[in-house]
Amino acid sequence: MAEEQASGDEKRLSIIKIYVKDFSFESPQSPGVFKMEEWSPKTNLNLRTTHTSAGDDFHEIVLTLTVEAKDSGNEKALFLAELQQAGLFEIKGYPQEEFGQLAGSFCPNLLYPYAREAIASIVLKGGFPEFVLQPINFDALYQQGREAAEAQAQAQQGQPGENGSGS
């Protein structure tokens, strides 16, 4: 009886597969960019995660990173790399709040080292100096996202409807 109950409440998190879903690299200023005397670009990193159910207890988590380097003098794009690093995970037996933490923080944290390596490799292969992405605290980002969503929901609840009567 205890074994049946334990197996029914069993929490499970397994990595099924880690893969590149989509990857692009552009160097619109080449070959002129390689003649630059001074290399001090401004870089911008944008990242987001998405979750898609893949049936039963399987979930695809996609970490999308977009890295853009611009010339600090004229703001022209030097390179643009966009990567969708994905993983197929089996996630079973977790309550909704814990599941959200896993899908929004834990899984992207597992995917990030693969994404860092892929971005660094493609930038180097594109002829540019080594590019290393710094570590990211996905727990803090997830918490900030939840707080922002809660604040937005509270703000919408506090606003009167458009057809509300005024004094």
Query: How confident is the model over 118-166, as pLDDT tens digits?
Result: 999 999 999 999 899 999 999 999 999 888 888 888 888 876 555 544 4
Please give the pLDDT value at position 161: 52
Does 51 score more than 60 pLDDT? yes
Integer Cα distance of 167 and 139 in angstroms = 45
pTM: 0.82
What contacts 24+ positions apart, CB below 8 Å, involve 93-101? Answer: 93/9, 93/10, 93/11, 93/12, 94/11, 94/13, 100/142, 100/146, 101/142
How far apart, in Å, are the Cα atoms of 83 and each of 2, 24, 65, 153? 46, 7, 5, 31
Average pLDDT over the chain, rounded to whole?
88
Integer Cα distance of 131 and 91 in angstroms = 33
Domains of the chain: 11-152 (3.10.420.10)
11's tokens? 């929490």
Cis, peptide link before residue 108, omega less than 30° from 0: no
